């Protein structure tokens, strides 16, 4: 059989294949290499572009001809979902989303102080005495996990990876639809998430010379769809309007949790808790965020925005709690954008206009190495800079000169922001902006009456709040009342792992929260259109 020779950044791989049968994307999928995709593999989004270095392939499809630029085609660019190899070929991939790669979690994300190595784990031979736990924020796009010593209540380590379920779609709707279409796919989705937890257990314990059986507790917070898919419960109802407003049971069967503990190598009696959601569209991740920000203890009005693929918003008006969510798509997480990537090493996370040459940008890259793409906070800066420079209008269109090829960010021009990327960002922003505006309206508050604005989620702690306010991502409030945090949901999850009494607070919160379902609000669409524009909220 002919072979596909693949180079991914520094790695090389050979795959044999049946000529003409499967697309490059299918072949890569079968070998665990998942390319980004937003269109479901019909050649429209352009995210799965690979470069064919040599060898014979199927001719350019119509969708490739309309999606790829002449320049990209000239350089051997093809869409993996469209191109079928016919004989031996060599291809290169630059921006593979490698779902198995766990990366270091920004240590500021946690409530406790990280300790480099855990003396207790190394010196204490009594394995039975080890008492460790994992807190997990299972996001639609990113999973974050921290390891805790439950005796000393100290944080040992933290890691993050992309949610491997993304191969079923970037947003919760496509994953729920996949699960609903067959129990086999539903099981696969659940398995992917459970395996990710298993990997986190494995990696975090082995790094600190701990046996996996030292894990006595795992606490997971997530949005309702993630919880339902994980537990294999009620996911089939989440697409129905009637269930959005109701509590949704995502409790796993006890024999399931025992099986999971066994699969992960955790202690046989480990407590595994999926913190239950509030309703079909408000997950336990938001509840955890409210808990860790102590939102309800604020004397005056306080707003919490958790930006993500599924953004969630909570508003405390001093006596009442309002909660909602807005599914704006994965643009905040850098997913679905031609130039985008998650907040991981190689991501441009901060941009400012150059001081000497006003056309150039200066940017900061996570990890300090070469820039690979741009993550959400970088995109916010880029959009604000382009607006200030007059290269972008508030409608979201780049000036004519950049309309076709996009606006190059780096000197080589390999990272470009295109009209399409800005539009996707606007849609995500429009949905969250509408949710914020609607909650304020419902509670009779105005943004200048807010006393605290807590921002967490996809943008991490690197968000430039002035830029964010200028383009209407967050309310235009005084800088000193803004609290930026990389992951309030994870912190809340950690509290629940460490302090069981916090569960009472959670129960109280469940009682008090007033659910607002944006999709049932008649005004939503018009608010959404208004918030698409790149201007202050």
Partner 1 sequence: MQHKIIQDYNEAVYDTDRDKALEVINRALADGITPEQIVFDVIIPAMEAMMASISKDFDANLAQHFMAAQIASEVTEEMISRFQNPPESLGTIVIGTSVGDMHTLGKRIVSGCLRSMMIDVVDLGVNVKPETFVDKAVEINAPVIAISSMMMHTATSENGCLRVREILKERGLEDKIKLVVGGAPFRWDNDLYKTVGADAWADNGISAGEMIKKFVLESRS
Which chain residues interact with partner 1 by CB under 8 A?
A: 39-40, 42, 44-45, 66-67, 173-174, 176-177, 180, 239-241, 393, 395-397, 419-420, 422-424, 426-427, 430, 519-520, 524-525, 528-529, 532-533
CA-to-CA distance for 39 and 48, rounded, in angstroms?
A: 10
Q: How far is the CB of 69 from partner 1 (least distance, A)?
A: 12
Question: Among candidates 190, 193, 187, 189, which has minimal Cα distance to 161?
Answer: 193
CA-to-CA distance for 500 and 203, rounded, in angstroms?
A: 26
With respect to partner 1, which residue has the nearer C-beta, 349 or 528?
Answer: 528
Q: How far is the CB of 318 from partner 1 (least distance, A)?
A: 31
Q: How far is the CB of 391 from partner 1 (least distance, A)?
A: 15
CA-to-CA distance for 447 and 269, rounded, in angstroms?
A: 48
Residue 255 main-chain phi, psi, to 5 deg? -70, -25
Q: How far is the CB of 180 from partner 1 (least distance, A)?
A: 7
Q: How far is the CB of 453 from partner 1 (least distance, A)?
A: 25
With respect to partner 1, which residue has the nearer C-beta, 438 or 528?
Answer: 528
Structure tokens at 291: 């808990």
**Contact indicator for 285, 276 with CB cutoff of 8 Å:** no
Q: How far is the CB of 533 from partner 1 (least distance, A)?
A: 6
With respect to partner 1, which residue has the nearer C-beta, 167 or 194?
Answer: 167
With respect to partner 1, which residue has the nearer C-beta, 289 or 328?
Answer: 328
CA-to-CA distance for 31 and 487, rounded, in angstroms?
A: 32
With respect to partner 1, which residue has the nearer C-beta, 171 or 285?
Answer: 171
**Contact indicator for 148, 158 with CB cutoff of 8 Å:** no
With respect to partner 1, which residue has the nearer C-beta, 180 or 216?
Answer: 180
CA-to-CA distance for 382 and 422, rounded, in angstroms?
A: 10
Q: What is the CA radius of gyration of the chain?
A: 23
Cα distances (angstroms) measured from residue 142 to each of 164, 166, 262, 473: 9, 10, 24, 21
DSSP letter string, 296-311:
GG-SS-EEEEEESSEE
With respect to partner 1, which residue has the nearer C-beta, 244 or 260?
Answer: 244
With respect to partner 1, which residue has the nearer C-beta, 3 or 72?
Answer: 72
CA-to-CA distance for 192 and 458, rounded, in angstroms?
A: 21
Q: How far is the CB of 43 from partner 1 (least distance, A)?
A: 10
Q: How far is the CB of 176 from partner 1 (least distance, A)?
A: 8
With respect to partner 1, which residue has the nearer C-beta, 370 or 401?
Answer: 401
- Residue/partner pairs of 187-195 with CB below 8 Å, 24 or more apart: 187/232, 189/165, 189/229, 190/229, 190/230, 190/231, 190/232, 192/163, 192/164, 192/165, 193/138, 193/143, 193/163, 193/164, 193/165, 193/226, 193/229, 193/230, 194/230, 194/260, 194/263, 194/264, 195/164
Q: How far is the CB of 193 from partner 1 (least distance, A)?
A: 21
């Amino acid at each position: 059989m002919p072979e596909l020779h693949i180079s991914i950044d520094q790695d090389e791989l050979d795959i044999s294949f049946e000529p003409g049968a499967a697309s490059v994307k299918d072949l890569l999928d079968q070998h665990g290499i998942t390319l980004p995709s937003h269109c479901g593999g019909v050649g429209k989004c352009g995210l799965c572009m690979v470069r064919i270095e040599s060898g014979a392939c199927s001719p350019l499809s119509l969708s490739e001809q309309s999606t790829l630029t002449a320049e990209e085609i000239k350089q051997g660019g093809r869409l993996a979902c469209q191109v079928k190899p016919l004989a031996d070929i060599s291809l290169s991939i630059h921006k593979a989303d490698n779902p198995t790669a766990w990366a270091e979690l920004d240590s500021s994300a946690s409530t406790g102080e990280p300790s480099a190595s855990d003396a207790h784990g190394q010196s204490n031979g009594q394995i039975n005495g080890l008492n460790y736990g994992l807190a997990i924020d299972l996001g639609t796009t990113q999973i974050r996990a921290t390891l805790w010593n439950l005796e000393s209540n100290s944080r040992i380590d933290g890691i993050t990876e992309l949610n491997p379920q993304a191969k079923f779609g970037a947003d919760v709707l496509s994953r729920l639809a996949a699960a609903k279409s067959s129990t086999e796919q539903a099981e696969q989705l659940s398995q992917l998430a459970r395996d990710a937890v298993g990997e986190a257990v494995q990696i975090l314990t082995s790094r600190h010379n701990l046996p996996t059986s030292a894990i006595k507790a795992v606490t997971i917070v997530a949005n309702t769809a993630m919880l339902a898919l994980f537990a294999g419960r009620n996911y089939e109802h989440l697409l129905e309007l009637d269930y959005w407003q109701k509590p949704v049971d995502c409790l796993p069967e006890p024999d399931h949790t025992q099986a999971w503990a066994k699969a992960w190598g955790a202690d046989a009696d480990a407590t595994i808790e999926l913190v239950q959601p509030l309703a079909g569209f408000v997950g336990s991740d938001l509840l955890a965020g409210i808990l860790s920000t102590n939102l309800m203890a604020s004397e005056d009005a306080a707003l919490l925005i958790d930006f993500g693929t599924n953004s969630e918003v909570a508003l405390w008006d001093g006596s009442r709690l309002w909660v909602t969510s807005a599914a704006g798509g994965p643009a905040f997480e850098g997913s679905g954008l031609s130039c985008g990537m998650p907040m991981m090493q190689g991501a441009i996370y901060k941009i400012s206009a150059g001081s000497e040459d006003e056309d150039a940008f200066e940017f900061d890259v996570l990890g300090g190495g070469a820039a690979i793409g741009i993550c959400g906070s970088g995109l916010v800066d880029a959009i604000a800079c382009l607006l200030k420079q007059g290269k972008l209008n508030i409608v979201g269109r780049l000036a004519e000169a950049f309309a076709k090829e996009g606006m190059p960010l780096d000197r080589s021009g390999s990272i470009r922001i295109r009209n399409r990327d800005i539009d996707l960002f606007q849609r995500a922003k429009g949905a969250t902006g509408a949710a914020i505006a609607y909650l304020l309206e419902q509670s009779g508050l105005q943004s200048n009456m807010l006393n605290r604005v807590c921002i967490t989620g996809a943008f991490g702690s690197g968000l430039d709040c002035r830029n964010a306010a200028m383009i209407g991502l967050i309310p235009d409030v005084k800088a000193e009342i803004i609290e930026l945090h990389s992951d309030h949901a994870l912190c809340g999850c950690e509290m629940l792992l460490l302090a069981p009494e916090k569960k009472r607070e959670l129960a109280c919160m469940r009682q008090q929260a007033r659910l607002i379902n944006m999709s049932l609000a008649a005004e939503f669409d018009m608010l959404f259109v208004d918030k698409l524009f790149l201007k202050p909220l």
